[in-house]
């Protein structure tokens, strides 16, 4: 049984992973947002942990997930990705406006421990500029163990890292287009 976390993926699993990344490029996004946490007593914390920042709601941490929202008719497709790649959770949501949606959401732990290592190992890249920037921000946060939201705001190191790692040309030269 070749799971997404196995040392070597079969050609079928690698092919599915490549399709999944293309799917994310077109219909998904990597969400990097602020999440405030209160202390155990649900009171504001008098002094934040080293480097932390206090908002009126508590300490502002970084929340990361990868999300794909589709029409609820596509629930089976998202469940297929989840089961075959052994990653994320699938559920339905009903936005305030619009139709019911099927959502695949991959949490920080799965992103860091399953997806990111495979993208690095197999040299897989997102193609759209927006998804590349989101991915590179996530990767930088993980590689530098950044946990507080204030540490990513107006951070020149992050901006330079993203700018220096964007793939701008020759997508057709990437090996998986000849796969």
Write out pLDDT tens, residues 18-32: 999 999 999 999 999
> Structure pTM?
0.80
Residue 24: inside a domain, yes or no?
Answer: yes
Q: Looking at the domain assignment, is residue 99 inside a domain? A: yes
Over range 90-98, report the average pLDDT: 91
Q: DSSP string spanning 74-90?
A: GHHHHHHHHHHHT-SEE
User: Is pLDDT at 54 greater than 90 in this prediction?
Assistant: no
| pLDDT on residue 6 | 57
3-state secondary structure of 60: strand
The rounded percent of the chain whose pLDDT value lies above 70 is 79
Instruction: Tally the domains of the chain.
Output: 1
Q: Residue 109: inside a domain, yes or no?
A: yes
Determine, yes or no, domain membership for 5. no
pLDDT at res. 37: 82
92 has which bridge partners? Answer: 102
Q: Is residue 6 part of a domain?
A: no
Whichever domain contains 91, its CATH number is 3.10.28.10
For residue 137, being part of any structural domain is answered with: yes
22: left (phi > 0), else alpha (psi -120 to 50), else beta?
alpha
pLDDT, tens only, 154-172: 899 999 999 999 987 666 6
More confident residue, 86 or 57: 86
- Asked if residue 2 is part of any domain, the answer here is no
Give phi and psi for 91, each to the nearest 5.
-160, 170
Q: List 62's β-bridge partners, or say none.
A: 34
- The count of residues in the chain is 179
In which domain, by residue range, is 127 found? 11-178
pLDDT recorded at residue 46: 47
pLDDT-derived band of residue 9, with 50, 70 and 90 as boundaries? confident
Q: Is the pLDDT of residue 128 over 50?
A: yes
Residue 3 belongs to some domain of the structure: no
């Amino acid at each position: 049984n070749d799971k997404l976390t196995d040392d070597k993926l079969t050609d079928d699993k690698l092919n599915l992973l490549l399709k999944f990344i293309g799917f994310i490029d077109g219909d998904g996004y990597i969400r990097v947002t602020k999440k405030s946490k209160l202390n155990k007593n649900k009171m504001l914390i008098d002094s934040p942990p080293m480097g932390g920042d206090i908002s009126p709601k508590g300490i502002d941490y970084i929340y990361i997930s990868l999300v794909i929202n589709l029409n609820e008719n596509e629930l089976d497709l998202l469940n297929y990705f989840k089961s075959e790649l052994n990653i994320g959770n699938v559920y339905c949501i009903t936005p305030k406006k619009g139709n019911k949606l099927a959502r695949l959401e991959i949490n920080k732990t799965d992103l860091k421990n399953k997806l990111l290592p495979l993208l690095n190992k197999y040299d897989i890249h997102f193609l759209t500029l927006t998804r590349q920037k989101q991915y590179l921000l996530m990767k930088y946060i993980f590689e530098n163990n950044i946990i507080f939201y204030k540490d990513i705001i107006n951070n020149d190191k992050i901006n330079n890292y993203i700018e220096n790692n964007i793939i701008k040309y020759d997508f057709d030269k990437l090996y998986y287009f000849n796969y």
